[in-house]
Amino acid sequence: MPTDWSPVQYLRFADERSRPFVDLLAHVGAVDPAVVVDLGCGEGELTASLSRRWPRARVTGVDSSPAMLSAARVHAVPGRVSFVRGDLRTWEPDGPLDVLVSNAALQWVPEHRRRVVTWSAALAPGGWLGFQVPGNHAAPTHALLAALCRGPRWSDRVGDLAPSTAAVDDPAGYLDVLESSGLRAQAWETTYLHVLSGADAVLGWVRGSVLRPVLARLGDDAATFESAYAAALREAYPQRVDGTTLLPFRRVFAVGQAGTSR
């Protein structure tokens, strides 16, 4: 899982990236939770919004990126909103949780299905667990990147970073995970049609996510790799006459609630 990100690049499309979080939280029915955790909190703005929804909750954002956590400090509120460094592959709660959410982070954790089972067991009676993951690993953004990473020029350096279609499940898979954990669950998918502006807008989008670890490893050769990838993206996502580019983006959601007695 990447350990450092660019908050500025990620926030370039903040409105588009926040929509799935809002849609996820609309299905979390907690009324007055005391302990709320956001796994993979990023730069913290969405985490802080949880404290506005639940004013009496103690909200904690967890992330592995020092850069993101540094940006998140502006959203900290003593006694109400805090941010801590943690690896989602090993993170464990200190006690029962009333709400545990994760927005576009679990796809970086290869064993996240097992982690979901563990976190489900940590819910307080009546507690909620909800997460959203990108479900577009078969889309051109990811398929073209995977082909380049595995190609003869780059495979020895970044072949292991090629996006995999096995990174996430479909809604039925996550429904099974939550139900087998004893939760009353629902799961669904939504394809958002983002209208992006500017030259190489889709490249700008992936620079803030799936492309970042690849470029970080390539160092001085990153520009050469990015140039080839950008050309492929321009063909797959042509710019429209008004200067905008359409990016269909599928996301998979799952929400579960623990029983009132555990």
* CA distance to 4, 10, 12, 68, 167, per residue, from 7 (Å): 9, 5, 9, 6, 23
23 close to 252: Cβ distance less than 8 angstroms? no
Domain boundaries, the chain: 7-257
Q: At residue 68, does pLDDT exceed 70?
A: yes
Q: How high is the mean pLDDT of the chain?
A: 92
**pLDDT for residue 262:** 62
**Dihedral of the alpha carbons of 112, 117, 123, 128, in degrees to the nearest 10:** 70
pLDDT bin (cut points 50, 70, 90) of residue 165 is: confident
Give the pTM.
Answer: 0.90
What is the average pLDDT across 141-148? 97
Could you tell me the pLDDT band of residue 9, with boundaries at 50, 70 and 90? very low
Mark 202-221 as b/e (b = at least 16 C-beta within 10 Å): bbbbbbbbbbbbbbebbeee
The answer regarding whether domain 7-257 maps to CATH 3.40.50.150 reads yes
Going by pLDDT thresholds of 50, 70 and 90, the confidence category of residue 13 is low
Interval 191-238: pLDDT, tens: 999 999 999 999 999 988 889 899 999 999 999 999 999 999 999 999
Lowest mean pLDDT among 26-30, 53-57, 68-72, 250-254: 68-72
**HEC string for 105-132:** CHHHCCCHHHHHHHHHHCEEEEEEEEEE
